[in-house]
Structure formats: structure tokens, C-alpha cells
């Protein structure tokens, strides 16, 4: 029998208009350090810096908040970058020897980056590209000469000249190796080639002179004005780098044997046979090559010589170092990642006699370090952005919005005490180009990241620049081997060479059990809960002064003496006993140790009740940290759930069993599918009949997929996925009170009624009576899908305020007159139950309708772009396919959905965290967060300008190849590729077509760039761990994949924004 239902005709135009005012998807900015950097450039006139990456990305940075991003069409490595000083133009060289000219263009008062022209040399000589010489196929070095000319050094030794304005070769100006060899003595030639051009350097006083260095070691000063060789320096050691002295009277060269040489240019026309000085700084034993060297003069007379590499090959060949030499002072800067490039911030005016360097910027593979060269000791300058998020691997993240100004100031003060600047240091961040046009945020947002080494880092996520504020370390509470390792490192630093550890990137953890799994922060009481891999739960409190006190320890047995279970995982961490010194900042007050010491999977804090709830793969517990006593411990293990006893360090058996069960389900579904084949054919006939008989303007219930119920004894079914506190109706409809909710991996929900002594009027703390917990309700979801989130809605269908918000009149008091409801989100569906009866009210089967599973869920407040007073609270969810869906609350009607993350990017999906005002973050690489917005009003994106002064002889390009695509993930996805613009700047047909559609525009609105201060906010967290559940999504037969693809295409073709509740 044919079954389908009709719904209301068409879509409501008013509602569709309102959706466009509320929702819009933008990928706005990337926070953190660029993944796999490969090139560096600096414009001393505009004070901006550019970083190129191996994926073809171009990022330009100026003052905090001034950022420009671009992406080359081809995913090739950026090998060199050169600014045209003061013009806002950047010339990039890729590893395929192609050249690209980028421009910073101003439009409507704001600047953005666009690619103007490109030049592709031929890959091999042929009849089609006969106009190009064969020796141009491999460009090794680029130099910007005076005016609009670029010199291209090649692998063959030839030097070509290019017109930068048009990126066209200049005829008749090619310098071949044969011309240079005419000025070289016969005994130096001896049949050997000069080799590739290794370095090209321009003369600051006389731009017509070019210093050329060949790989063989020959140095030549070429005059463009006279088209002749002025000086020849006969070096015999393989050349690596060159640098011209300030006045042009000296040249310094670095070589592959770890030496550098100084040559004098005042010797006249005869060839110079020997340098004036030859030094091997770390000799006499064999050393590695000095890859780059700089010579900077100072007015005091003591010059700077800065070089990378050159370390003794046998002893320290694996070190990543930059050495700074001034007079008799030598400092070997020891980094933990490979040196990419470096530059100095110094005077570049031709009228100045000395360089007088102010700062040294070193780009490493994992971080950027800036040193103050004007202050004794050369201290590091704190970076306002580009901080390495992955200084230790990120294991979890959380976001807190609307942070009170008092708490913000206390956190900033604690962070400043951790890295005090020398009193004599007057140098601030030297990269200060451009102006940030974004409005000052009216409220502050915190991004918290937990790390593998047991630290929690606090970041200012209020604007475009993600600024580090404070670092909390939990390792000092536990007994580890870090003290011994530090002593060994100190012993090494005292020896020769004079190593100095610089930078904060440290990927190695002293103990994997220190890893942070969950964090929770109360922004009104400055109390915090940090949970780790070995079952440790720390309760901390912010203090403005250093202190020395002992930390109380309590053990909570979650197995409740259940027999037949033996923990096979790691041991617990042993805490230090007695009085311990604690610096200013968050100081631990209580340590709760879960037994067995499994990783904590869920945690929540209620500071007003002085309660903390935590869960692991064995069960959950409730602890009263005011009385320092446990309230509740509940075991959630199934009798067959033995894998939960193996711990995270024994996951091989778990993965094998999971794969085995997945293949069993696949075979079972295939068999059942064959049995249902006749029924399926009848359903197809009914569907065709329905299409013939139904009016086309009516919507039908979407086809629901068959969901296989999960077995009760699935592995890890007892994992606690979420915990939640609420003041609601659980026992009866007339009396409300404190409750605690817990959801597990097997679809079980436990609701406990709590007896919490009420605080006296005006008192901050409650009385010392014991807290009691009584099981009030227990719900088992069909299909046993894991419970992802739980939230209680008041009588108006709004989420309950956070602790202290209602009592301190910081948010609208909840409606306690109407009936409350609880929203339970599982991996397969969302369901609203009435309270206290816990009867189903409405639901939406996401897996049945969309063929995907829920990974992350959050309640968010969306403000209208037309009126800030109009807001809606909606449910935002991220699926395993990388799509973001938004549903109305409490009706659970689909509003919009967007493709956000590649479905293959499992770590990105696992790391996603939503904010309470329609924004979100997810990792696109180990070192970068992509920020996106679902709100049409609350958008945080770069809004900046740059003062560009064009020289009189410079010509602006008349056309542009492409508008810079929105810089996509470091994993290679290009989400937005814009079509080329015409010469007159008119938009292409793709732009006009998108503007005519009824869907909300994806990148047209750019209003206020902050989260609006609406209702209260809870802290949302996420873990970066990739579990077996994430991998299961990619297991299936080809038939299932094709079927799901057809269903998804059919759903996308006729997607309805309304919901029919069965």
C-alpha cells in the first residue's frame, strides 16, 4: 500500500526572507600558524610580512587584525617571495618555476589580495614555445632590480630579465655564462661549468649593480648600465648564500663546508683570488653548510653577522640553529623545528650610513620567532598572532563567550607575569603595517585548548588575531621525569657551542597520561575543571598572587566493586604530597582520581552548587568539591563490555573487534537487502505512481533509510558521552529543583534529582550539609544510538541560563510556570521529551532522512541582520559528512544546511566546536583553526586597509587573472574558487547567477565583526581524539555507497525546510 503524506503548499516567503536575515555561511579567517611554511618576505616600507606554504597559500600579515590571504591555482610549493617595496605587490616563485604577481587591492574602503599576472616558463623546448630559451625551464633565484625589472637566475647559469608590470621577458638583456667566463682567467675555467645561479643581490646605493653568485663559488659584480663585468671574485668552495655590505665595499659569502668569507670590492678590475677573511665558526671539524648569511652594520662599530646552519656535522648536525655574532659575542639560537628563512628589520633608506638592525625574525617550520636586537641579551618579542597552537598537540578545545571584564583582566595579568619583558626592552612587535578597520569588540571571547603535555592555553578569540593570553600547566602536580630531562638539557646548554633554547614549540610530552581531555570554566566565579587521560579531574581557582598550599586528593571508584573486571590500561598519575608552590593564575584546589584511571570522556561544572560531574568509559560520578566528598558513582559497563578495561594504550584489539562487527553488519544488511528486493521494486512503482498523481507544488515526507539497531553489548557501550546540570521539574510538575543528566554510548540517559542545600540570602557559598542524589528517570533510546548532548528548555522553549546568571540578574530568568522539556540529541536523531513525564513531544530522524550521523551539537542564538533585537535560538549540528545543519528549537524544523568540512577530514570534524552566537572553529591542520560563521550578523573577518604609495615610474597592471580565492584548508580543499574578472572589473556570470538565487548569499554580508551579547553562554568543548566510531563511517560495501549517494542527490534536489513529525 502506498504511504505518503502531503504538507502545506510551497514555502512561506516571509520565513524564507527571515532565514536570509538570520543565517549565512562564511569561512572567515584562519587562526594560528600556517601549515608547512616554505617562503618568507618582508616589506620594510609598508612593514608587512608574507608567508608562503607548500600547498600554494600566500598569507600577508601586518598589525594585529591586518591579514590578507590568497591561494595559487596550482597546489605547488612557494619557494621564494619578494615584495615590490611600498607598492603592496608581491612576486612569488613556485617550485614549477612559475612566477605570480599579487596585489593588495582596495575596494569599498577595505583591502583584499588578488593575483594579477602569472608567467609560466616552458617545461621543455618545442616548436610551440620556441620563443622561450631552453635554459629558462628552471628558475633558482629571483631579484627585484630598480624600477619594474626582475632578474631570474636559472639552473643553467643564465640570468634573464623580466618586466614586472607585464611579466614579459626583456629581449636582448639575457646574461649567459659565456659572457661571464670571458672575464675569468683561463686557469679558473679548466673546462668546468659555473653551475646554477645560487644568489642575486642588489646594491643599495647603486641599483644598476648586481652581485651574482654561482654554485661553483664564482662571484661577479655585473653592471646593468654598462652591460659589463665590474669585479670578479674567484671562489673555489661551493656557494650557498651572499650578502652585500651596507656601503658596497665588502661582500660576505657562505659556503657548503660551514665557512664564510669576506671579500673587498675596492681591489679594482683584476680578478680577486683570495678573500680578506675566511672563518669556520664551529670548526675545525667538518661542519654543515651555512644556508643563508646576513651582514648588518651598526653605528657603534660592532657589526652583526647572522647565519643559519654551519653546525658541527658529527655532534650537532641534527640541530636547527641560527647563530648571531657581534664582536666577541656569539649566541647559537637552538630551535625545535627546521629553519625556513629569516630577515632583519633595519634601516633601508639609501641616505642612512648604517643598517642599525632592530629585530631578527626567524620563520621556522612550526613557529615564528622575533628577537629584539637592541636590548642586551636579545630577548624574544611576544607575538600578538601567529602563535603555534600546536606547541604541544591539541587534544581538546572549548569556547567561552561574553567573558566578564574583571575575569578577562585577571587572566591577562596572570599571563603577563608568566613572560615578563625586560625593563630595558622598548621594542614592540615590529610588523605594524596597515590599519585594522574592524570595530572594537564589545565583548570578549575565550578559546581554550587542551594539550598533550598537560597544559591548557587561553586565547583571545574576540577578533581576527588569535592572541595568546595565559598558559596553565598541570604537570607540576604529578610526579614525572620532566625534572631529570630539564637538568640534562641545562647541562648540554653549558657546553660549546653556546646554545640558547628559543621558541615554544615542543611536540614531545613527558608522559602521555598528562594529556588534557576535557575543560570546563565558570566565567563568573573563575573556577575551572580540567580532566585528563589518566582519569585525573582537577578543580582549580584563579588567584592573583603566588601561593604555597597542598592539594586535596579523593578517589572515586566507578566500578563499584563489580566483579569480573580487571583494568589492563595505564597506571594512575602519582601526585606530589605536602605543600607545593603555585604561581599566580589558576591554582589547583582539589584532585579527583577516577578508578580505573581511564580517560575522562565528559565533564561539567556547576559553581553555584559547588558540584562537578565527570564520566569515563566505565561510568560517571558526582563530586561535592566544597565538602570534598563524593556524592554519586554509577557504573555504566555492560557485562560483555570488556574492551573498556583495556584503556587507550591498548586499542588494537578494540579496532579489530570493531572492524569485525562492522563487516558482520554489512553482510547482514546485504542478506536482508536481497530478501527485501521484491518489496523494493513495489515501492519504486508506488513512488512513480505518486509522482504522476501528486501536484508538483506539494511536498512529501522524505524517504527514510532503514537503520540497523545497535547491539546492547557493542564495544565501549558504557562510555559516558555527555553530562548536564539543570534546575527543572523531574519529580513532579509543581516542584522544580537541581538535577543531573548523563548520556552514554549505548543510548541510555540517566536523570538524577539532587538535594542541594540552598545558599543564604546574599551568600556566595551554600551551607555545609551533604548533597544527595536520587535516580529520578532512566531513558533508553531506540537503536541504542550514542547520546551526544542533553539540554533542558524552559516554558518558552529557551535553554536554561548558566549558573549565577539568573541569581545575579545577568540573563533573563527562565520560565518556571510552563512545562519544561528536555532535548536529547543522539548520533541518529533529535528528540524532545516533556518533563516531568518524559513523554516524546517531537523528533527529527537525521540519519533516516539525510543518511549521516551527528558528531557535534550546540544551541546557538542567531540575531537578525536587520534588527539586533530579534533573535532565535536554534540547534546547530555537525555531521560525519562535514555538513552543518541548523534546526529550530523546540520544533526541530530544518532551517538551513551548509557543506563545511570535507567528509574525509576526520580530525577536522572531531575537533569542531561551536560558539553560542552562531560561529565555530575546527582544525584544518595541526597548527590552524578555521573560523566559520553560520550567522548573517555575527561575522569575524579581516577588515583592513593599507597605505600604498606608487612610485612615479611604476605602472599598475591593467587586468587581473583572478580574485584571490578564500584561503582553504591546508589539507588541500579549495572551497571557494571565484571566476576571473573582466578588464573592466565587471563580475562574471557565476557571480550574477548566485545573486539571483533564493538561497542566502554565502559571502556578501560583512556587518559587525563580533559575537552579539545576547543571552547567557555556556562553554562548548570538543575533543580531537579520533575514535572507532569516526572510522566506522567509511566502512561499507560499494552497493551501500552508491545507494547513499543516490539518496543524498535526491534529497539535495528536492530538499524541504519543514518537518513532518510522525
Residue 562 to residue 775: CA distance in whole angstroms: 20
Q: What is the pLDDT of residues 22-78, one digit of tens each?
A: 999 999 999 999 999 999 999 999 999 999 999 999 999 999 999 999 999 988 999
Question: At 142, is the pLDDT very low, low, confident or very high (cuts 50, 70, 90)?
Answer: very high
The residue to which cell 557485562 is assigned: 639
Q: What is the pLDDT of residue 131?
A: 56
C-alpha 944/C-alpha 169 separation (Å) is 35
Higher pLDDT, 231 or 651: 231
pLDDT tens-place string over residues 621-644: 999 999 999 999 999 988 766 666
* Angle, CA of 774, 780 and 785, to the nearest 5°: 130
Distance (Å, rounded) from C-alpha 3 to C-alpha 129? Answer: 66
DSSP label at 1038?
H
At residue 706, the pLDDT reads 64
pLDDT at 663: 64
Q: How many Cα atoms sit within 13 Å of 147 on the Cβ side?
A: 10
Supply the pLDDT for residue 1048. Answer: 47
Find the length of the chain.
1062
Band of residue 645 on the pLDDT scale cut at 50, 70, 90: low
Alpha carbon of residue 78 to chain centroid: 21
632 within 8 A of 622, measured Cβ to Cβ = yes
- Distance from chain centroid for Cα 41: 22
pLDDT score recorded for residue 661: 67
Residue 652 clears pLDDT 50, i.e. is over it: no
Nearest to 247 by CA among 375, 396, 351: 351
Cα distances from 633 to residues 552, 594, 636, 726, in angstroms, run 19, 10, 10, 19
List Cβ neighbours of 573 (8 Å cut-off, separation of 6 or more): 478, 479, 480, 511, 513, 514, 532, 534, 536, 597
**Tell me: the pLDDT tens digits for 606-619?**
999 999 999 999 99
How deeply is 187 buried, as exposed, middle or buried, from its count of CB atoms within 10 A (0-12, 13-18, 19+)? exposed
438 compared with 508, residue with greater pLDDT:
438
Grid look-up 518558552 returns: 796
Q: At 485, is the secondary structure helix, strand, or coil? A: helix
pTM confidence score:
0.83
DSSP 3-state of 236: coil
- Count the neighbouring beta carbons within 10 Å of the beta carbon of residue 962: 18
pLDDT digits (tens, 9 = 90+) for 992-1023: 333 333 333 333 333 333 333 333 344 544 44
Query: What whole-number distance in Å separates Cα of residue 361 and Cα of residue 343?
Result: 6
Cα separation values, 702 from 691, 840, 842, 1046, 1059, Å: 13, 21, 17, 13, 9
Instruction: Using pLDDT thresholds of 50, 70 and 90, give the confidence band for residue 1054.
Output: very low
185 has which bridge partners? Answer: none
Reported as a single tens digit per residue, the pLDDT across 762-782 is 556 777 889 999 999 999 998
**Collapsed DSSP state (helix, strand, coil) of residue 655:** helix
Distance CA 750, CA 676 (A): 37
Could you tell me if 90 and 115 are in contact, meaning their C-beta atoms sit under 8 angstroms apart?
no
Least confident of 442-446, 877-881, 985-989, 1036-1040: 985-989
Question: Residue 435 corresponds to which cell in the numbers above?
Answer: 590599519
Residue 671 has pLDDT above 80, yes or no: no
How high is the pLDDT of residue 620? 97
Q: What is the mean pLDDT of the chain?
A: 82
At 1049 the three-state DSSP class reads: helix
Residue with more model confidence, 109 or 590? 590
Cα–Cα nearest to 21, from 942, 966, 938, 994: 938
Determine contact, residues 394/1025, Cβ cutoff 8 Å. Answer: no
Q: What values do phi and psi take at 557, rounded to 5?
A: -90, 110
Q: Is 669 left (phi over 0), alpha (psi -120 to 50) or beta?
A: alpha
Q: Across residues 724-741, what is the average pLDDT?
A: 93
Summarised one tens digit per residue, pLDDT across range 453-471 is: 999 999 999 999 999 999 9
For residue 305, the cross-strand partners are 295, 325
To which residue does cell 568539591 refer? 625
Residues 590, 630: contact at Cβ < 8 Å? no
DSSP run (H or E) holding 312: none
Contact 482, 475 (CB under 8 A): yes
Q: Quote the pLDDT of residue 154.
A: 94
Q: How many helices (DSSP H) and strands (DSSP E) are in the chain?
A: 13, 65
- Predicted confidence at residue 260, as pLDDT, reads 96
The C-alpha cell at 643 is 574492551
Cα separation, 1043 vs 757, in Å, equals 56
Grid coordinates belonging to 297: 652594520
pLDDT tier for residue 759 given thresholds of 50, 70 and 90: confident
Straight-line distance from the first to the last Cα atom of the chain, in angstroms, rounded to the nearest whole number? 18
Distance CA 528, CA 523 (A): 9
DSSP assignment, residue 1032?
H
Give the per-residue pLDDT at 193: 83
- Reading the block at residue 470, the C-alpha cell is 595565559
Q: Which three cell numbers stand for residue 627?
A: 565538602
843-876, pLDDT tens digit by residue? 999 998 888 999 999 999 999 999 888 999 999 9
C-beta of residue 394 within 8 angstroms of C-beta of residue 383 = no
Residue 986: exposed, middle, or buried by beta-carbon count in 10 A (0-12, 13-18, 19+)?
exposed
Neighbouring-strand partners of residue 731: none
pLDDT at 709: 65
The answer to whether the beta carbons of residues 809 and 796 sit under 8 Å apart is: no
Half-sphere exposure of 94 (CA within 13 A, CB side): 21
pLDDT at residue 673, rounded to an integer: 52
Task: Look up residue 561 and give its three cell numbers.
Answer: 566493586
Burial class (CB in 10 A: 0-12, 13-18, 19+), 949: exposed
Percent of the chain with pLDDT over 70: 77
On whether the CB atoms of residues 180 and 131 are closer than 8 A, the answer is: no
d(CA 589, CA 532): 16
Encode pLDDT of 272-326 as tens digits. 888 999 999 998 999 999 999 999 999 988 899 999 999 999 999 999 999 999 9
Query: Cell numbers of 833, please?
Result: 521529551
Output the pLDDT for position 428. Answer: 87
% residues pLDDT > 90 (the chain)? 61
Greatest mean pLDDT among 191-195, 305-309, 1054-1058: 305-309
Q: Which residues contact 900 (CB under 8 A, 6 or more apart)?
A: 25, 27, 878, 882, 883, 884, 920, 922, 932
CA–CA distance, 927 with 417 (Å, rounded to integer)? 25
Is 926 a residue whose pLDDT tops 70?
A: yes
Alpha-carbon distance 34 to 367, whole Å?
9
As a whole number of angstroms, the distance between CA 749 and CA 772 comes to: 19
pLDDT attached to residue 344: 97
- CA 925 – CA 923 distance, rounded (Å): 5
Which of 716-730, 932-946, 1038-1052 comes out lowest in average pLDDT?
Answer: 1038-1052
How large is the greatest C-alpha to C-alpha distance in the chain, in angstroms? 105
Q: Is the pLDDT of residue 394 over 60?
A: yes
Q: Which residue has the higher pLDDT, 684 or 442?
A: 442
Q: How far apart are CA 465 and CA 67, in angstroms?
A: 9
Three-state secondary structure readout of 506-573: CCCCCCHHHCEEEEEEECCCCEEEEEECCCEEEEEEEECCCEEECCEEEEEECCCCCCCCCCCCCCCC
407's enclosing H/E stretch is: helix 405-418
Residues 6+ apart with CB under 8 A from 154: 135, 136, 137, 138, 139, 140, 160, 196, 197
Q: Cis before residue 596, ω within 30 degrees of 0?
A: yes
> How far, in Å, CA of 785 to CA of 858, rounded?
18
d(CA 35, CA 916): 28
| Cell output for 1034 | 567509511
Quick one: which of 62, 110, 65, 117 has its CA closest to 89?
117
Residue 1027 has pLDDT above 80, yes or no: no
Mean pLDDT throughout 830-844? 93
Question: In this structure, are residues 174 and 161 in contact, taking their beta carbons and an 8 Å threshold?
Answer: yes
Contact by Cβ (8 Å): 387, 381: no
CB atoms under 10 Å from CB of 699, counted, come to: 19
Q: Is 134 helix (H, G, I), strand (E, B) or coil?
A: helix
Amino acid at each position: 500500500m502506498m504511504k505518503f503524506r502531503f504538507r502545506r503548499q510551497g514555502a512561506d516567503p516571509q520565513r524564507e526572507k527571515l532565514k536570509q536575515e538570520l543565517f549565512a555561511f562564511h569561512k572567515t579567517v584562519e587562526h594560528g600558524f600556517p601549515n608547512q611554511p616554505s617562503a618568507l618576505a618582508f616589506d620594510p616600507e609598508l612593514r608587512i610580512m608574507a608567508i608562503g606554504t607548500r600547498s600554494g597559500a600566500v598569507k600577508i600579515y601586518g598589525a594585529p587584525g591586518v591579514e590578507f590571504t590568497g591561494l595559487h591555482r596550482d597546489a605547488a610549493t612557494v619557494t621564494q617571495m619578494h615584495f615590490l617595496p611600498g607598492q603592496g605587490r608581491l612576486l612569488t616563485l613556485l617550485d614549477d618555476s612559475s612566477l605570480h604577481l599579487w596585489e593588495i587591492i582596495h575596494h569599498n574602503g577595505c583591502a583584499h589580495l588578488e593575483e594579477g599576472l602569472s608567467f609560466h616558463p616552458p617545461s621543455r623546448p618545442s616548436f610551440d614555445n620556441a620563443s622561450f630559451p631552453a635554459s629558462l625551464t628552471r628558475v633558482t633565484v629571483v631579484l627585484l632590480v630598480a624600477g619594474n625589472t626582475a632578474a631570474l637566475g636559472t639552473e643553467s647559469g643564465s640570468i634573464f630579465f623580466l618586466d614586472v608590470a607585464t611579466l614579459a621577458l626583456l629581449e636582448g638583456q639575457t646574461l649567459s655564462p659565456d659572457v661571464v667566463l670571458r672575464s675569468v682567467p683561463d686557469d679558473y675555467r679548466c673546462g668546468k661549468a659555473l653551475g646554477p645561479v645560487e644568489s642575486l643581490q642588489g646594491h643599495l646605493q647603486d641599483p644598476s649593480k648586481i652581485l651574482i653568485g654561482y654554485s661553483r663559488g664564482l662571484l661577479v659584480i655585473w653592471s646593468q648600465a654598462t652591460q659589463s663585468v665590474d669585479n670578479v671574485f674567484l671562489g673555489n668552495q661551493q656557494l650557498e648564500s651572499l650578502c652585500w655590505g651596507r656601503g658596497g665595499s665588502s661582500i660576505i659569502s657562505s659556503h657548503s663546508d660551514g665557512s664564510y668569507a669576506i671579500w673587498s670590492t675596492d681591489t679594482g678590475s683584476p680578478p680577486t683570488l683570495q678573500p680578506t677573511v675566511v672563518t669556520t665558526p664551529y670548526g675545525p671539524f667538518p661542519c654543515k653548510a651555512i644556508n643563508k648569511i646576513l651582514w648588518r652594520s651598526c653605528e657603534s662599530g660592532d657589526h652583526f653577522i647572522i647565519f643559519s646552519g654551519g653546525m658541527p656535522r658529527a655532534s650537532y648536525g641534527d640541530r636547527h640553529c641560527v647563530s648571531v655574532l657581534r664582536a666577541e659575542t656569539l649566541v647559537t639560537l637552538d630551535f625545535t623545528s627546521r629553519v625556513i628563512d629569516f630577515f632583519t628589520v633595519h634601516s633601508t633608506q639609501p641616505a642612512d650610513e648604517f643598517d642599525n638592525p632592530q629585530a631578527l625574525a626567524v620563520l621556522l617550520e612550526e613557529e615564528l620567532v622575533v628577537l629584539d636586537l637592541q636590548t642586551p641579551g636579545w630577548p624574544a618579542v611576544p607575538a600578538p598572532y601567529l602563535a603555534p597552537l600546536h606547541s604541544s598537540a591539541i587534544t581538546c578545545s572549548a569556547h567561552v563567550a561574553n567573558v566578564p571584564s574583571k575575569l578577562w583582566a585577571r587572566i591577562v595579568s596572570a599571563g603577563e607575569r608568566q613572560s615578563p619583558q625586560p625593563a630595558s626592552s622598548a621594542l614592540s612587535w615590529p610588523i605594524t603595517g596597515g590599519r585594522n578597520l574592524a570595530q572594537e569588540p564589545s565583548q570578549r571571547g575565550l578559546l581554550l585548548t587542551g594539550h598533550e603535555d598537560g597544559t591548557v592555553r587561553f586565547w583571545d578569540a574576540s577578533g581576527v588575531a588569535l592572541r595568546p593570553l595565559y598558559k596553565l600547566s598541570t604537570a607540576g602536580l604529578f610526579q614525572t621525569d620532566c625534572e631529570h630531562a630539564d637538568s640534562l638539557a641545562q647541562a648540554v646548554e653549558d657546553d660549546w657551542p653556546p646554545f640558547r633554547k628559543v621558541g615554544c614549540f615542543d611536540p614531545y610530552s613527558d608522559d602521555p597520561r598528562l594529556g588534557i581531555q576535557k575543560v570546563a570554566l565558570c566565567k563568573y566565579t573563575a573556577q575551572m575543571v580540567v580532566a585528563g587521560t589518566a582519569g585525573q579531574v582537577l578543580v582549580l581557582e584563579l588567584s592573583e598572587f603566588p601561593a604555597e598550599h597542598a592539594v586535596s586528593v579523593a578517589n572515586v571508584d566507578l566500578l563499584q566493586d563489580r566483579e569480573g573486571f580487571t583494568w589492563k590500561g595505564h597506571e594512575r598519575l602519582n601526585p606530589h604530597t605536602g605543600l607545593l608552590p603555585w604561581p599566580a593564575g589558576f591554582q589547583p584546589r582539589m584532585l579527583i582520581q577516577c578508578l580505573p584511571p581511564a580517560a575522562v570522556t565528559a565533564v561539567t561544572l556547576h559553581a553555584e552548587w559547588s558540584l562537578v560531574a565527570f564520566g569515563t568509559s566505565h561510568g560517571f560520578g558526582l563530586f561535592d568539591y566544597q565538602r570534598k566528598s563524593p556524592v554519586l558513582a554509577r557504573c555504566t559497563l555492560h557485562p560483555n563490555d570488556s574492551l573498556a578495561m583495556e584503556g587507550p594504550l591498548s586499542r588494537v584489539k578494540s579496532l579489530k573487534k570493531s572492524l569485525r562487527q562492522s563487516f558482520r553488519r554489512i553482510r547482514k544488511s546485504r542478506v536482508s537487502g536481497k530478501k527485501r528486493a521484491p518489496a523494493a521494486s513495489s515501492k519504486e512503482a508506488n513512488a512513480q505512481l505518486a509522482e504522476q498523481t501528486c501536484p508538483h507544488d506539494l511536498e512529501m515526507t522524505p524517504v527514510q533509510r532503514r537503520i540497523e539497531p545497535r547491539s546492547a553489548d557493542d564495544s565501549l557501550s558504557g562510555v559516558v558521552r555527555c553530562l548536564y546540570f539543570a534546575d527543572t521539574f523531574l519529580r513532579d510538575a509543581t516542584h522544580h529543583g537541581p538535577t543531573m543528566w548523563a548520556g552514554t554510548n549505548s543510548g541510555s540517559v540517566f536523570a538524577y534529582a539532587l538535594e542541594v542545600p540552598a545558599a543564604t540570602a546574599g551568600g556566595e557559598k551554600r551551607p555545609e550539609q551533604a548533597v544527595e542524589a536520587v535516580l529520578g528517570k532512566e531513558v533508553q533510546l531506540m537503536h541504542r544510538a550514542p547520546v551526544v548532548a542533553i539540554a533542558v528548555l524552559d516554558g518558552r522553549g529557551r535553554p536554561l541560563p548558566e549558573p549565577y546568571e539568573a541569581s545575579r540578574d545577568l540573563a533573563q530568568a527562565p520560565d518556571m510556570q510552563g512545562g519544561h522539556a528536555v532535548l536529547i540529541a543522539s548520533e541518529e536523531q533529535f528528540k524532545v521529551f516533556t518533563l516531568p513525564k518524559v513523554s516524546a513531544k517531537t523528533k527529527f530522524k537525521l540519519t533516516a532522512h539525510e543518511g549521516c550521523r551527528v558528531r557535534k551539537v550546540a544551541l546557538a542564538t542567531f540575531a537578525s541582520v536587520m534588527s539586533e533585537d530579534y533573535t532565535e535560538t536554534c540547534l546547530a549540528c555537525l555531521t560525519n559528512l562535514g555538513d552543518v545543519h541548523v534546526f529550530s528549537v523546540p520544533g526541530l524544523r530544518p532551517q538551513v544546511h551548509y557543506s563545511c568540512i570535507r567528509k574525509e577530514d576526520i580530525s577536522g570534524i572531531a575537533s569542531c566546536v561551536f560558539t553560542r552566537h552562531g560561529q565555530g572553529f575546527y582544525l584544518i591542520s595541526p597548527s590552524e583553526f578555521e573560523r566559520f560563521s553560520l550567522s548573517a550578523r555575527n561575522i569575524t573577518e579581516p577588515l583592513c586597509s593599507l597605505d600604498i604609495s606608487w612610485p612615479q615610474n611604476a605602472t599598475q597592471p591593467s587586468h587581473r587573472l583572478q580574485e584571490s580565492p578564500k584561503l582553504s584548508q591546508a589539507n588541500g580543499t579549495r572551497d571557494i574558487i571565484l571566476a576571473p574578472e573582466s578588464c573592466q572589473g565587471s563580475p562574471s556570470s557565476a557571480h550574477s547567477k548566485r545573486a539571483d538565487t533564493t538561497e542566502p548569499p554565502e559571502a556578501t554580508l560583512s556587518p559587525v565583526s563580533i559575537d552579539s551579547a545576547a543571552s547567557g553562554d555556556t562553554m562548548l568543548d570538543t575533543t580531537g581524539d579520533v575514535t572507532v566510531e569516526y572510522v566506522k563511517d567509511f566502512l561499507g560495501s560499494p552497493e551501500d555507497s552508491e545507494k547513499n549517494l543516490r539518496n543524498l542527490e535526491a534529497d539535495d534536489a528536492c530538499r524541504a525546510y519543514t518537518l513532518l513529525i510522525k
